[in-house]
Amino acid sequence: MRLFYTLLIYLLSPVVLFLLYRPRHGKPGFGPRWKEHLGWVAPPNKQAPIWIHAVSVGETIAVTPLIKTLKQRHPELSIVLTTTTRTGADQAARLGDLVEHRYAPLDYPCAVKRFIKQIQPQALLIMETELWPNLLAQCGKQNLPVVILNARLSEKSCQRYQRIRHFFRQMSQALTLLLCQHRDDAERFKRLGVTPQQIVVTGSIKFDIQLDQKQIELGEQYRQSLGNRPVWIAASTHKGEDEAILRVHQEICKQQPDALLILVPRHPERFTDVAKLCLEHEFAICRRSEQRLATVQESVLLGDSMGEMAYFFQIADIAFMGGSLVPVGGHNLLEPAALAKPTLIGPHFFNFSDITRQLVDKKACQVIHDETELATQVLQLLGSPDQRHTMGMAAFDVVAANQGALEKSVTAIDTVLATLPQR
């Protein structure tokens, strides 16, 4: 089965490499480091590092508190952090000398083998359920411990894996520990043949969010400078979604002429296109990159910067999470929730269904289904400070009630590190 899989990915290589490396307007490329995806990486500065893999920006942000905790407990520990995407690499750069960054090898046997030979890791920690057959097979051959962090498995995915249950069981033999978000996830992994000894239920480390206090302070200063002006944010929006958001803002401005929309596209290569969209919808805009306060005549603050979501959320009275009016699957609501902001999300939130459902159940979040409903809910909340406060505190309570997964995860990782030979 793995042989067939490997043959297939080699046959699809031209398509995969084209999609990964094709030049796109406004999106920085990989430069000479593209070879790292094929395993041609420089050795780390220190021997025997822990290898942590996080695919892109979201996973890198989520694993950052764990990295900081590991370094606090084990100052001598060397960490190599890999990402697949350039935006993930940019986020990793914010960690400074806590980690060394490399691009992760694509799941070609030769690339994985080359990477491991160069890095010589003593253990691999993978953020979320990134199970790559050739990577796991090579780790098994090298007796390299593999820990899956924040592991999750939906019922739909479980049923799909049931069709290749034997293959999944072979892959899972290379896993040392699966740190599952919930008991339901653990039970699904067991149904696929993962042994109870390989599973620990820790909860989601995403709830142990560590916000940038400097960003929050700057955001609060900006908010105070706006006075009583009503502000809402549409965060992490995708192509096809911005037009809808701008139409909603047009409706809002009919009743709240001084309302300010903070519009933050998910991908930096779209900043210029979204700025043009704002002008096409006849909005005067202020760009974050201009480093100034939006004037009364400017109805949109365009978040054309990276790594400042806490800053933007702190300015806003209400947060709408993008990727949910279009079938992308939504994005993580925990950052605005941790800032006690009432949240709204569209119907497509399947990538974060558990977090969203918890917030909805506690009346901290509302699911909206179309533009009309979004405009209605934003206007209602802008005119109801008491409701905003109630929803915001309920959101904060959900985050607080679920914290503790980070400590459980680090404790489990420490048990694995304790078994490693001293180098």
Catalytic residues: 59
What percent helix, strand, coil does the chain show, rounded to 5? Answer: 50, 15, 35
By the 8 A CB rule, do 75 and 9 touch?
Answer: no
Contacts 24+ apart (CB under 8 A), 250-254: 250/281, 251/371, 251/375, 251/379, 252/375, 252/378, 252/379, 252/382, 253/299
Residue 53 DSSP SS3: strand
Please list the residues that pair with 231 across neighbouring strands: 260
Closest CA to 399 of 369, 374, 365: 365
In the block, which residue shows the tokens 């021997």?
47
Count of CB atoms within 10 A of residue 309's CB? 26
Distance CA 422, CA 415 (A): 14
Q: What distance in Å separates the CA atoms of residue 239 and residue 245, rounded to the nearest whole number?
A: 11
Nearest by Cα to 101 from 128, 77, 80: 80
Distances 277 to 17, 206, 246, 267, 281 between C-alpha atoms, Å: 31, 33, 8, 15, 6
For the chain, give the longest Cα–Cα distance: 67
Asked if residues 89 and 56 have their Cβ atoms less than 8 Å apart, the reply is no
Are 74 and 68 a contacting pair, CB within 8 Å? no
